[in-house]
Chains A and B, each alone.
Chain A
Amino acid sequence: MEATYMLLQHYWWFLVSLLGAMLVFLMFVQGGQSLLFTIGKTEAQQSMLLYSTGRKWELTFTTLATFGGAFFASFPLFYSTSFGGAYWLWMLILLCFVLQAVSYEYQAKKNNLLGKKTYRIFLLLNGILAPMLIGIAVGTFFSGAEFVVDKQQLTCTQNPVVSSWKNPGHGLEAALVWWNVCLGLAVLFLSRVLALLYFINNINDDDVQQQSRRRLPWEAALFLVFFLTFFVRWLLQDGFAVNPETKEVFMQPGKYLINLIEIPAALTGLLVGVVGVLLGIAKTVFCRRWRKGIWFAGAGAVLTVLALLLCAGWNNTAYYPSTASLQSSLTIENSSSSIFTLKTMAFASILIPFVLAYIAYVWRTLDRHKVSRQDADC
């Protein structure tokens, strides 16, 4: 029973991490939006970029929604503590996505109230802020947040709130932590790198191809600077470990490096992932006719992020540490749903491969016809 419960908790942490990793990959849509006025020099080029990413934005959006739903279902204490506490951080993320959802549809329509330019600026804002803010939010998995969880509080009828946030910034304070910002910038530039690779793959236009290829090394360099800065610090920092016997949370030097070593799957995923990202970028830069970089870099990004997130929650680690009350830190054990719920949802998760299969089929079918100026004119 205990072993099954632990297995299910690990399985659901894996699924949530996988969704998070897929979300980072699919944020190439945001990256593309952030490059709208950089790569898209003319109206025709901007229209092609929007037509190209416009066929995919729903998938990114849906992955975010499912990520939220899966987190709620499998680790409800995180959902209640983080969303109810880091209120402003999550609200800003949501506002960014609201702007995106309407802008694709409305920007090219007549009588759209705010004008085409405004909606495109909304897309630009979403393109920059969404990856940044999501990166900052994920950064708190390693740097911690100021909250207290006290379940006994439910018996206090005048103030029965279990989770309380101890910083008046209600999430905004996370944006003042350099390492969180560093991860946010890494995610932003990764999304831009992936977007360039996606444009190279998806758009049949010489100008867009040339500009994307020209831009790629610079964006890749910025990504590597911020990612490596975060990554080296991540390997060396003290981590939030859990004593498996007493369940006590304590600071352990080099915890995440230890996790990488003790979770071979994560280490392998990380190494393969980094190679995939670098290969996707390097081959695109050096082979002028090669257009498949997005698949290597995309798969690499998924594996890398998955490895980082697995190290955040597996191997007796507190994935959402509290700097206000260390013992309030959330672990996959103390924040998960019941064994019954995890097991029930595990049956539902059997459908995930089918979902991935039809997404891949539809993606392939639609992308068989590359985007051209004619599409943009439609």
Chain B
Amino acid sequence: MVETIDTHLIDWSRAQFALTAIYHWLFVPLTLGLGIVQAVMETAYYKTGNEFWKKTAQFWMKIFGINFAIGVATGLILEFEFGANWSNYSWFVGDIFGAPLAIEGILAFFMEATFIAVMFFGWGKVSKGFHLASTWLTVAGATISAYWILVANAWMQHPVGMQFNPDTVRNEMVSFWEVALSPVAVNKFFHAVLSGWIVGAAFVVGVACWFLLKKRETKFALSSIKIGAIFGLIACVLSMWTGDGSAHQVAQKQPMKLAAMEGLYEGRNGAGLIGVGVLNPDKERYNDGKAPFIFKVEAPGMLSLLAERSASAYVPGIANLIEGGYTQKDGTVALSAQEKMERGKLAIRALASYRAAESDSARQQAYATLDKNFKYFGYGYITNPSDLIPPVGLTFYAFHVMVLIGGFLLLLFAAVAFLSYKNRLAPKRWLQRVCIAAIFLAIVAGQAGWIVAEVGRQPWAIQDMLPTSAAISKLPTSSVQLTFFIFLALFTVLLVAELKIMISAIKKGPQIEQAQ
């Protein structure tokens, strides 16, 4: 009897990874964004010698420190979960995926870990210049770290620079630069880091607005708001640009994800981009004939423009991607999911034949079949075509929440920057309250972005190459359930502790007014 993988194990392993990633991404964006703000403030102190900037920078550094540790802790868990929960994945692509992780450690982790000690413990012990350099190097370390992990993640969305080796039964890197400088990786890095900057900026502006509302530390608050709002505005504008690039890349490399992001079941020329919409909860299957939306407002032709840079271009929907038969950009006719699954099974069988072959000619024949069908290798593990459709509701709503909040934050930062430079922000108490709420919105937008990226990629661990069901570690489901709940409890307690400490530190404030 053939042993099979328990589907609950896959679900719980995914849940555990998602849980850790969600918590990790609660803390990392603030580290990335706040790091820049505090470094700018310390630079002002270095240039002017004004103690006000030193106290201001030290206040934000204190918050940075409270947030930093838990981000590091959850990051360590994520790194090791690749091996612990996704052992097959680790073997199948470790030759490519491991390298960015190792380089991240050598280049970024040590830089961050070494200079953060100077940043926190070095005041008065090292020169002003060395301290400032350490602050910037800490930020650089965190950002370089983000680059390498996003190279690894981008590779999962769009695998490049590798070749399958049937002798070792894994993918092997053949071009480091293709992996490291993949356009998907570069775009993903900028988009993710910019979203961190937005969170950092929203946090600085929101906390500073709280001081304005309380009529405390006004000079500190207004100075922080000016820097935070301009920083946030720049990040939002750049984020729109990288977001457009990201969506275009998704259209090219992961058309199913794009279709889910837009709830597009039937493809068409001149497809519209949904601005706001409510999905039809009665729609259960892609081909049940039910309308996908109860309500929607769309911009005509904009999805085609986003996807193909032409307002009249054809964008395939979920049904088309499953059933195939439409003409692709290169003039070929798209295969159906069923055909891809058959080719994937052919590739897997060819691999088995290759390894069992006793003669060179049989081995070569098997390799030829494997090579010809390897593009569909991952489809061989799929049992039902509808398994290829990611959760449409979650992907759709996450995408639109992210875009709407992003647009709102752009306007908010522009308004706050304008009013603060005109010295008209202090009386606008309603706007200050909105800014405090915007901290939460910025965090939600960042989380939503990752939901789009990761849930939208399902069922794939590596796009078209390895589904999550084949990427798994063979563990008792109960073990993963137990560690899931342990991590859930631990991370939640630590999050509550962090929030309490942070709120306490904010309430205490930078104490600049008292010092004066």
Which residue numbers of A lie inside 8 Å of B, CB to CB? 55-56, 58-59, 61-62, 64-66, 68-70, 72-74, 76-77, 79-85, 87-88, 90-91, 94-95, 97-98, 101-102, 104-106, 109-114, 151-152, 154-165, 168, 170, 337-338, 340-341, 344-345, 348-349, 351-352, 355, 358-359, 362, 365-366, 368-369
A341 contacts across to B, CB distance below 8 A? 95-96, 98-99, 172-173
Q: A239 vs B380: C-alpha distance in the bound complex, in angstroms?
A: 41
B99 contacts across to A, CB distance below 8 A? 73, 337, 341, 344-345
- Are the C-beta atoms of A69 and B84 separated by less than 8 Å? no
Which stretch in B1-9, B259-267, B301-309 binds the other chain? Answer: B1-9
Q: A372 vs B387: C-alpha distance in the bound complex, in angstroms?
A: 63
B111 contacts across to A, CB distance below 8 A? 355, 358
**A contact patch SS:** helix
A362 contacts across to B, CB distance below 8 A? 114-115, 117-118, 134
Q: Which residue of A lies closest to B5 (CB)?
A: A159
Select which of A73, A156, A168, A369 is within 8 A of B94 by beta carbon: A73
Not counting A80-B83, A355-B106, a sample of 11 additional A-B residue pairs whose C-beta atoms are within 8 angstroms of each other reads A65-B105, A68-B76, A72-B90, A83-B83, A104-B69, A109-B66, A113-B496, A114-B493, A152-B352, A337-B94, A344-B173
- Are the C-beta atoms of A154 and B501 separated by less than 8 Å? no
B381 at the A interface (CB under 8 A): yes
CB proximity to A under 8 Å, residues B68-109: 68-70, 72-77, 79-80, 82-92, 94-99, 101-107, 109
- Are the C-beta atoms of A165 and B474 separated by less than 8 Å? yes
B299 at the A interface (CB under 8 A): no
**B contact patch SS:** helix
B116 contacts across to A, CB distance below 8 A? 58
- Are the C-beta atoms of B102 and A348 separated by less than 8 Å? yes
- Are the C-beta atoms of A102 and B83 separated by less than 8 Å? no
Given A97-B73, A109-B505, A348 and B94 contact (CB-CB distance below 8 Å) = no
- Are the C-beta atoms of B76 and A106 separated by less than 8 Å? no
Select which of A68, A337, A352 is within 8 A of B95 by beta carbon: A337
Q: A87 vs B77: C-alpha distance in the bound complex, in angstroms?
A: 12
B17 at the A interface (CB under 8 A): no
- Are the C-beta atoms of A154 and B87 separated by less than 8 Å? no
Q: Which residue of A lies closest to B171 (CB)?
A: A338
B87 contacts across to A, CB distance below 8 A? 79-81, 83-85, 161-163
Given A101-B72, A157-B345, A338-B95, A59 and B102 contact (CB-CB distance below 8 Å) = no
Write the nearest CB–CB distance from B112 to chain A, whole angstroms: 7
B348 contacts across to A, CB distance below 8 A? 154-155, 157
Given A79-B94, A102-B69, A102-B73, A74 and B102 contact (CB-CB distance below 8 Å) = yes
- Are the C-beta atoms of B73 and A98 separated by less than 8 Å? yes
Q: A355 vs B141: C-alpha distance in the bound complex, in angstroms?
A: 12
Select which of A105, A109, A358 is within 8 A of B504 by beta carbon: A109
Select which of A62, A85, A163 is within 8 A of B105 by beta carbon: A62
- Are the C-beta atoms of B84 and A83 separated by less than 8 Å? yes
Q: A69 vs B76: C-alpha distance in the bound complex, in angstroms?
A: 10
